[in-house]
Amino acid sequence: MPEPELVESEESDTVVVRHAPRYGRFLALGAAVGVILALVLTFSFPENDEYSQGQVFGFLLLACVAIAGAAGGLAAILLDRAATKRARSLPAVHETGRRVD
């Protein structure tokens, strides 16, 4: 039984290489900062007769997580734009091989 012949081809191209931030991590970090900020703000002010501390924490949690998460997303977008400006073009070689029976 003859062995299949290997056919190879190469193509040269130019690719853009850049570092991109991971958006999910920036959003999660912003949300975590929002949780900590809500916790600090809850216990920074005196207790309110109208709302319990749990309710105040819940209200602040909604606002702080949304604002800090948005700030984290904005930071990721700004870092992505900065990384795009520093992108480099490099040569790349695409090698493909397949067996011909």
Domain contains 16: no
CA distance 74 to 80: 10
Does the pTM surpass 0.85? The reply is no
CA distance 33 to 56: 17
* pLDDT given at position 2: 67
Radius of gyration over every alpha carbon of the chain, rounded to an integer in angstroms: 26
Domain contains 77: yes
**Total domain count for the chain?**
1
- Let me know: does 30 contact 72? Beta carbons within 8 Å: yes
CA distance 96 to 33: 47
Q: Express each pLDDT in 9-29 by its tens digit.
A: 778 888 888 888 899 999 999
Helix (H) or strand (E) holding 14: strand 5-17
Percent of the chain with pLDDT over 90: 54
Three-class SS state of 59: helix
By residue range, what is the domain housing residue 57? 21-88
